[in-house]
Amino acid sequence: IPTLDDVDFSSKKILVRIDINSPVDPKTGNLLDDSRLKAYNSTIRELVEKGNSVVLISHQGRPGDNDFISLEEHAKILSKYLDTDVEFIEDVMGPYAREKIQNLEKGRVMLLDNVRFVSEELIEASPSQHAKSYLVRRLSPLFDGYVNDAFAASHRSQASLVGFPVVLKSSAGRLMEKEVSALAKIFNPDDYPKVFILGGGKVLDSVRIIENLVKKRLADRILTGGLIAELFAVAKGLDIGKDNIRVLEKLGILSLVPRARKILLMGGPIEIPVDFRVEKEGKVIEEPLNKLTGVIKDIGTTTTGIYSSFIKDAKVIVMRGPMGIIEDERFREGSKTLLVDALESSGYLIIGGGHMISMLGNVTVDSNKVHISTGGGALLLFLAGEKLPALEVLSTSGVK
Ligand code: 3PG
């Protein structure tokens, strides 16, 4: 893929797609983790130092979800980390945003509002289709170039990610470059066992990831937690109790049971918890799988012990998504223990997804042994060998 070394971006106006989508505290509406906001420093600084004016564009959450919010707080945090004022524009592609972009001075940085406020952004379509979107048609004439640094969103074929490289001179940013080269290290077939720990809320993505890992025989063990574990328990014909079934039904997850069954039939090395920490009538108790009466909120102590033993023996460990509802202090234990064990193990550890990264807090890690990726779904799909549309279009569109 072309990098900033392959394009002449100096004294230009550049649109930079970043991914600062972060976990949001459902109670306060504030960001729970700002690690993705720190990650773009090198790209933005380099562009500013070369005399460019920089317009940042990103998404946050999905329509209908609690974390579907404006990017105002993000602009403040970016300003702090970049040590320069990042002006927040409460518009994406309307006349106000376009006028602001037109008048942006050399060396200045601004952040447009949540690109998913524009409904066509969420359509998954080809680069040539997205090149005709209003977003691309309205914004691209205002820019000399486009940089995609949003590794974490590169598995989405959405307008702001794939439409601009069709019409503008484009390159990957420094973060994208760093992610791709750090991750390439794990493809060494001599480094096994490879253990993948998958949890979190994006179940459809996790199923897609597991399908890929299983088909390509890339994982020696896939340890599941959270909703994805419940899905596989149901696919195995196990009883998870009617309250938990109801949760899966409400979230539309039961429709994935046939796909999960197929994965099991392919011989996928999928481990599911043997016990859970549940909430029942306001109390927290542990219950074994098949005798569940409460609502599942975390993996149980026995499961944590079994998963830890797999982690200790692994040469490569990939973690994405928590094992339980970590926003609630009572259900952090499972994810926390596995994270600590993974950090202490001698294997190479890759951590992805905002929630797991938020659990790291201020822990400093050895970058030769641990790669903290800004990617969640994108990271896993990349590791599973899937072609990521936003990367593909950069490599095929060529430098204009
Ligand atoms: C992520 O957090 O995985 C990316 O920001 C993509 O978000 P999405 O799953 O809502 O497309």
Residue 237's pLDDT is: 97
Do 321 and 350 touch, CB atoms closer than 8 A?
Answer: no
Q: Where are the beta strands (DSSP E) in the chain?
A: 13-17, 53-57, 86-89, 109-112, 145-148, 170-172, 194-198, 221-224, 270-271, 275-280, 283-288, 295-299, 316-320, 348-352, 370-372
Give distance in angstroms: CA of 253 to centre of ligand 1. 18
Give distance in angstroms: CA of 376 to centre of ligand 1. 7
pLDDT in tens, 154-178: 999 999 999 999 999 999 999 999 9
Residue 185's pLDDT is: 66
Residue 285's pLDDT is: 97
Domain boundaries, the chain: 13-176, 188-383
Mean of pLDDT over the chain: 94
Residue 184's pLDDT is: 78
Give distance in angstroms: CA of 179 to centre of ligand 1. 16
**Banded model confidence at residue 144, pLDDT cuts 50, 70, 90:** very high
d(C-alpha 117, C-alpha 160), whole Å: 12
CATH superfamily, domain at 188-383: Phosphoglycerate kinase, N-terminal domain (3.40.50.1260)
More confident residue, 181 or 53: 53
Closest Cα to atom 6 of ligand 1: 153
Pocket of ligand 1 contains residue 155 by CB under 6 Å? no
Closest Cα to atom 7 of ligand 1: 153
**Banded model confidence at residue 355, pLDDT cuts 50, 70, 90:** confident
Residue 194's pLDDT is: 94
CATH superfamily, domain at 13-176: Phosphoglycerate kinase, N-terminal domain (3.40.50.1260)
Residue 246's pLDDT is: 97
> Would you say 259 is a known binding-site residue?
no
**Banded model confidence at residue 398, pLDDT cuts 50, 70, 90:** low
Q: Which atom of ligand 1 is nearest to the CA of 152?
A: 4
**Banded model confidence at residue 400, pLDDT cuts 50, 70, 90:** low
Is residue 23 over pLDDT 80?
A: yes
Pocket of ligand 1 contains residue 352 by CB under 6 Å? no
Residue 380's pLDDT is: 86
Pocket of ligand 1 contains residue 21 by CB under 6 Å? yes
Give distance in angstroms: CA of 322 to centre of ligand 1. 15
* Coil, strand or helix at 334: helix
> Would you say 21 is a known binding-site residue?
yes
Is this structure's pTM higher than 0.90?
no
Does 188-383 match 13-176 at the fold level?
A: yes
Pocket of ligand 1 contains residue 156 by CB under 6 Å? yes
Pocket of ligand 1 contains residue 153 by CB under 6 Å? yes
* Coil, strand or helix at 220: coil
Q: Which atom of ligand 1 is nearest to the CA of 205?
A: 9
Which of 162, 142, 147 has its CA nearest to residue 2?
Answer: 147
Give distance in angstroms: CA of 21 to centre of ligand 1. 7
Is residue 186 over pLDDT 80?
A: no
Residue 94's pLDDT is: 98
Is residue 1 over pLDDT 60?
A: yes
> What is the residue-wise DSSP string for 137-153?
HHHGGG-SEEEE--GGG
Is residue 53 over pLDDT 90?
A: yes
**Span 247-251, mean pLDDT?**
96
Do 144 and 170 touch, CB atoms closer than 8 A?
Answer: no
Is residue 219 over pLDDT 80?
A: yes
Q: State how far the alpha carbon of 102 is from the alpha carbons of 86, 161, 164, in Å.
A: 16, 21, 18
**Banded model confidence at residue 22, pLDDT cuts 50, 70, 90:** very high
Pocket of ligand 1 contains residue 115 by CB under 6 Å? no
pLDDT in tens, 103-124: 999 999 999 999 999 999 999 9
